[in-house]
Structure formats: structure tokens, C-alpha cells
Amino acid sequence: MNGRGKTRTALAYTISGVGDSIIPASFAIQSYRLDESGRLLTIVLLSLWLGRLLSSIAAQRMPAPTFPARWMILSDIVRMLAQLLLLWWVVAQSSHFAAAFFVSCLTYGLATAFFNPARFELISIVCETENEKVKLNSLLSAVGDVLFVCGPLLGTFITVHASFEAALIVDAASFAVSILILASFWPLTRGTHRAPEEESYAKEKLPAWVNPGLATWFVLSASIGFLGTAAPTLVMQHFDERMWGWVAAGAAVGSLAGSAGSIVMRFPFRYKQALALVLSAVYVIFLMWAPSVALIVAAAALSSALTTMAGIAWDVAGQSFDSAGLVHQFATKGQLVNTAAIPTGMVIFGIATAILLPVSVALAIILSIVGVSYALNWGHAAGNEPTRSLT
């Protein structure tokens, strides 16, 4: 695959991502407009998460797509239709907004969880070398960071100064353009003939190093969910609202630095993952006790940078399997871990507000122990040594 294939992949991801990034803020504003109690927003968030969880489970049980771009296109079509149908419902000023939002967000979540593993598989086909995979994953990570920061601002601007309907149109249009770009990959597959071991998806087994890696990702993802709710709450409690903006900016800059650093900094994944876990523990502790917001900003930036670097290395490792079935298993298992772990961290914070100090200390200790143990024990068991791609 030539450079144009990688460019089209990045372009499709970026354009589709623009629409995706504006939707959370737009839905939050519109949900509040329709129901100030917050019940509708809760329905939106739960239905989106439920859709992702159900389809993550389903995708894991399905064989690898022979033509991954077709999964991506079908996913974009479903999400585009979900937004257009909701647009029609809103324009028609029909009643039962809660039901309409639930169905739309559930459908959106269901389709998204099929898109991401297929994109993972497409990258493994488009990029022929490990270095190409690192560069493309780093680029997509950086694009995601920019959209994470700019998307809510753009979504708020469109919804407030134009309308919620305009935000839905922008999202649907981004999917339409992405579909047109991905159409060039419609016939693309890993190969016309599968190897004998790929004929049966059930016979394929991921190597031994994947399970401990997924276990550490669950712990780290749970801490991400915890910090996602704890950080803004605690920073605004201990300092003020403006200081939270600096912390959020520090995390965003750290993630961008991690994306760039992945291209030039190569060291074993186990150390990246261990550092990400330990720095997340430091971030948790600083949120509780740091006397200066500058220390929290630094902790957020470093934690975010190492988490991004570890994530890119992990993705490259999964995309380096020769078997499409193994790439698919790797992607769907990782997606399921993140889908389950991040809300778990949020729930932990929600139910632990009365005993936040001991819970935070316990989480920091767990993160540190898991990180150090993972670094020290990696590869000690026979067959537990990863490929060289984990760098």
C-alpha cells in the first residue's frame, strides 16, 4: 500500500472525528434545554455506553472482517442515519424526546464499537512496516488530542449560535465524506487466500503476553475514568474553575507530546506501561495533597504523555500480527476492556465521595503495585515474552 493509502486513512479518521467530537457538547446542551433535571442527559450517556458495551461483546465473538473498510463504511452509514432520523424527529417537533435520544444514542454506540476494530485492522493492512504503524498511530493519536480539545468548543459554538439541528447536520455530513474516502478501500483485504490457521477463528489463540497487558490496561483505564471525574471536581474544590482549565490543557499537551515522542522514543512497552501506571498514581495523590496547581498540571501532563505512548506501542503490537483473526481479537478485547473499565472508574468516584481520601490512596497504591510488578515480572514465564513490536 502506497503513501496515499495512509493519507486517506488519516483523512477519513479526521473528518469523521470532527463530527464525533462536536456531538458530546451538543447533546449535553440540548439535553439540558429539554430537561433541566439532568435525567435526559443521563439517558443519553447510559444509552451510548450500553450500545458500545453490547456491540463490543458482539464484535469480540465475531470472526475478523475480510474487508475491514466495509465494516467501517457500514458503521458510518448507521451512525449517519441515526443522526438524520433524530434530526427529522427534532425538526418535526415530535414528543417523546427521551425515547428518540435513547434510540439514537444506543444505535450510535452500537455502530461505533464495530468501526474501531475495523479501523485497527485497516491500519495493520495499510501499513507494511512497524515504523509506518508507529507514525500513523502517532498521527491519529495527535489528531484525536486536537479534536478532544477543539471538538467541545466547536460543538458548543454551533449549538449555541446556530442550533442543535445544525450540529446533527455537521455530524451526518462528516460521516458522508468519510464514507466517500473509505470507499476506495472497499476491495482491500489482507490477502485473497488465508493461511490454514486462519480458516477457523476459534482455533486462533493470542500469545500469552496479551492477557497481563490487558489486565494492566483495565487498571489504568479505570484510573482514567476515576480521574476524569475526580480531577475537575477536586481542582475546582481546592482552587477555582479557571485552574481546572490549566490542568485540562496540561493533560492535552502531555498527550500531544506522547504522540510525538512515540516516533522518536523507543523503549520496551512494559516500562512505558509501568511508568503510565505510576504517574497516574502520582496524579491521584497530587489531586488530594498538592499545595500548588502547577504540580497537578505537571502530573497530568506526564501521566497523559506516558499513557499515550503506551497506548500507541500497544496498538502497534496488535497490528503487527500476521493473522487477521489475531488482530481482530486483540482489537475487540482491548475495546471491551476500555468500555468496561472507564465507567467503572467513574462509578468508583461517584460512590466514594464520602470516603474519597482512603479510596484515592488505595487506588494510587494499586496503580503503583501493578506498574512495578508488571515491569519486573514481564517475560519471566515461558512464552510470556512479547514481540519486538512492543517498543
pLDDT tens, 156-170? 899 999 999 999 999
Q: Are residues 47 and 149 in the same domain?
A: yes
The domain in which residue 71 lies consists of 3-192
Q: How confident is the model at residue 40 (pLDDT cuts 50, 70, 90)?
A: confident
The string of pLDDT tens digits covering residues 106-126 is: 999 999 888 888 988 999 888
Summarised one tens digit per residue, pLDDT across range 206-230 is 998 899 999 999 999 999 999 988 8
**Is residue 274 domain-resident?**
yes
Distance CA 154, CA 170 (A): 11
For the CA atoms of 191, 194, 200, 205, the dihedral, rounded to the nearest 10 degrees, stands at: -80
Q: What is residue 163's predicted lDDT score, i.e. its pLDDT?
A: 92
**Average pLDDT in the 318-322 region?**
88
User: Domain holding 131: CATH number?
Assistant: 1.20.1250.20
Give the 3-state secondary structure of the chain: CCHHHHHHHHHHHHHHHHHHHHHHHHHHHHHHHHCCCCHHHHHHHHHHHHHHHHHHHHHHHCCCCCCHHHHHHHHHHHHHHHHHHHHHHHHCCCCCHHHHHHHHHHHHHHHHHHHHHHHHHHHHHHCCCHHHHHHHHHHHHHHHHHHHHHHHHHHHHHHHHCCHHHHHHHHHHHHHHHHHHHHHHCCCCCCCCCCHHHCCHHHCCCCCCHHHHHHHHHHHHHHHHHHHHHHHHHHHHHCCHHHHHHHHHHHHHHHHHHHHHHHHCCCCHHHHHHHHHHHHHHHHHHHHHCCCHHHHHHHHHHHHHHHHHHHHHHHHHHHCCCCHHHHHHHHHHHHHHHHHHHHHHHHHHHHCHHHHHHHHHHHHHHHHHHHHHHHHHCCCCCCCCCCCCCC
Tens-place pLDDT, residues 2-38: 567 888 989 998 998 888 888 888 888 888 888 877 7
Q: Is residue 77 part of a domain?
A: yes
Residue 385 lies in a domain: no
Residues 250 and 188 in one domain: no
Q: What is the CATH number of the domain that holds 353?
A: 1.20.1250
pLDDT bucket at 61, cuts 50 / 70 / 90: confident
- Phi and psi at 92, nearest 5°, equal -70, -5
Give the model's pLDDT for residue 195. Answer: 43
Helix 241-264 vs helix 210-238: crossing angle, to nearest 10? 150
pLDDT score recorded for residue 306? 94
Q: What does the pLDDT look like over 200-212, one tens digit per residue?
A: 444 578 998 899 9
What confidence score (pLDDT) does residue 381 get? Answer: 44
Mean pLDDT of 172-201: 74
Residues 165 and 218 in one domain: no
Stretch 140-150: mean pLDDT: 87
Looking at the fold, whether 76 and 128 belong to one and the same domain comes out as yes
Range scoring the smallest mean pLDDT among 90-104, 132-146, 321-335, 358-372: 90-104
> Do 256 and 358 share a domain, yes or no?
yes
Average pLDDT over residues 304-308: 94
Does position 264 have pLDDT exceeding 80, yes or no? Answer: no
Q: What is the mean pLDDT of the chain?
A: 86
224 plus 318 within the same structural domain: yes
pLDDT at 193: 35
Give the per-residue pLDDT at 382. 37
Is residue 390 in a domain? Answer: no
- Domain co-membership, 155 together with 271: no
Q: Which tens digit of pLDDT belongs to each residue from 41-55?
A: 888 888 988 998 999
Domains of the chain: total? 2
Domain's final residue, options 192, 223, 244: 192
- Predicted confidence (pLDDT) at residue 181 exceeds the cutoff of 70: yes
The Cα–Cα gap between 46 and 53 comes to: 10
The reply to whether 387 falls in a domain is no
pLDDT of residue 196: 42
What's the pLDDT at 148?
A: 80
What the block records as the C-alpha cell of 4 is 496515499
Q: What is the pTM of this model?
A: 0.84
Same domain as 77, residue 13 = yes
Distance, in Å, from the CA atom of 220 to the CA atom of 363, rounded to the nearest integer, reads 10
Domain boundary among the residues 192, 227, 254 is at: 192
